[in-house]
């Protein structure tokens, strides 16, 4: 799946998660009677549902299209973390609800308070969701947090237009949209490079990626691990050990590392893919030259791992590397 498709479908995931959350909350509120001063219960329930849906769906979608497949353990952990974040946001919002919204029920202050509650919920759920990519780049969590804050604030502000059946789902949908776009769109807009799948002589890799020609975003500060390690060999609780998964029989489980530093891009053999003398155990080439240590990448460089060909595309002009900058 290319970058545009990834952003589109991730936005769809966020919107559908929000819509589903609203439908469940609306059904429950019609079924169970609650006093006005206790309506914060529905807000807490809504943020908890939002966290669970966003946490699970975001992990499942990302793994389905950019990894080997959906791992139940990771999805369940995503749901758990999202639920805790949503519940925590609901508890944090109780003072806002009781001190701002309820006393000013028919005034603009109530709408401001509602925007604030959704911003808190969106930001906290986004932060927890983005933590899954913190090993790649710590700013990924910040992107998701900011996306959730903006989506929640805008969604809450929509309530100024009224609170009919058309308006009601919008805060839910916009909050979910903000979170998922924070996870995917922000790195795309800030990208400095793209790793593009070209072809593979390995049947499994070609069947998986040959038709949809996937792309992996490279942002300054990123550290992407490339390999073939399958989920059955993965014992991590939440984060994926492989950021660029290629099911090539001649690619090592942990084959190479691609990283960006000071607007320059480098690839190196992973430590697990080295022999006793430091020699590569599995093939890594750039433009036909064998990579032994660390190799700088430039626009349109051809990268060969095992039987698979990738191309690196650079978006920005690299700045000179300061002598004190060390490659790790």
Which residue reads 């003398």 in tokens? 277
Same structural domain for residues 164 and 73?
Answer: yes
- 56 with 169, same domain: the answer is yes
Domain of residue 99, residue span: 3-189
- In 3D space, the residue among 174, 195, 176 whose CA is nearest the CA of residue 256 turns out to be 195
Contact 147, 183 (CB under 8 A): yes
Residues 180 and 202 in one domain: no
Shared-domain flag, residues 13 and 119: yes
Q: Could you tell me the two tokens for 107? A: 């005034």
pTM recorded for the entire structure: 0.80
pLDDT tens by residue, the chain, 328 residues: 567 777 888 888 888 988 998 888 888 777 776 565 566 677 788 889 889 999 998 888 877 766 667 788 889 999 999 999 999 998 988 888 888 877 887 777 877 888 888 889 889 998 998 888 888 888 888 888 988 888 888 887 776 676 667 778 888 888 888 888 888 887 878 788 999 999 999 999 999 888 888 889 898 899 999 999 876 666 677 777 888 999 999 999 999 999 998 889 999 999 999 988 888 899 899 999 999 889 999 999 999 999 999 999 987 554 444 444 444 4
Is residue 328 assigned to a domain? Answer: no
Whether 325 is covered by a domain: the verdict is no
324 belongs to a structural domain = no
Q: Are residues 129 and 31 in the same domain?
A: yes
State how far the alpha carbon of 181 is from the alpha carbons of 106, 122, 126, 194, 317, in Å.
Answer: 33, 12, 10, 18, 26
Same domain, 52 and 108: yes
Domain end, chosen from 150, 171, 189, is at 189
Do 154 and 31 lie in a common domain? yes
Helix (H, G, I), strand (E, B) or coil at 130: helix
Q: What is the CATH number of the domain that holds 282?
A: 2.60.200.20
Number of domains in the chain: 2
Last residue of a domain, one of 142, 172, 189: 189
For residue 233, the SS3 value is helix
């Amino acid at each position: 799946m290319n970058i545009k498709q990834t952003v589109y479908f991730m936005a769809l995931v966020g919107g559908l998660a929000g819509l589903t959350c609203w439908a469940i909350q609306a059904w429950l509120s019609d079924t169970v009677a609650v006093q006005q001063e206790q309506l914060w219960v529905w807000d807490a329930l809504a943020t908890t549902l939002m966290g669970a849906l966003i946490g699970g769906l975001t992990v499942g979608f990302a793994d389905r299209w950019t990894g080997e497949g959906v791992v139940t353990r990771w999805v369940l952990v995503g749901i758990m973390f999202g639920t805790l974040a949503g519940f925590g946001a609901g508890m944090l919002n109780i003072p806002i609800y009781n001190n701002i919204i309820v006393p000013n029920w028919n005034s603009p202050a109530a709408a401001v308070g509602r925007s604030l509650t959704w911003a808190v919920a969106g930001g906290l759920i986004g932060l927890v969701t983005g933590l899954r990519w913190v090993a790649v780049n710590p700013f990924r969590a910040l992107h998701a947090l900011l996306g959730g804050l903006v989506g929640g604030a805008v969604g809450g502000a929509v309530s100024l237009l009224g609170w009919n059946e058309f308006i009601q789902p919008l805060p839910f949908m916009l909050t979910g949209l903000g979170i998922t776009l924070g996870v995917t769109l922000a790195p795309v807009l800030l990208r400095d490079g793209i790793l593009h799948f070209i072809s593979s002589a390995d049947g499994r890799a070609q069947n998986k990626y040959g038709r949809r020609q996937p792309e992996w975003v490279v942002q300054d500060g990123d550290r992407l691990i490339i390999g073939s390690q399958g989920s059955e060999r993965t014992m991590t609780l939440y984060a994926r050990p492989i950021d660029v998964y290629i099911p090539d029989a001649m690619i090592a489980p942990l084959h190479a590392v691609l990283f960006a530093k000071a607007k320059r891009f480098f690839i190196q053999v992973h430590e697990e893919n080295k022999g006793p003398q430091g020699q590569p155990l599995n093939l890594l080439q750039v433009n036909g030259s064998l990579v032994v240590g660390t190799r700088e990448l430039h626009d349109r460089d051809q990268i060969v791992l095992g039987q698979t060909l990738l191309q690196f595309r650079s978006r920005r002009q690299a700045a000179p590397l300061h002598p004190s900058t060390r490659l790790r």
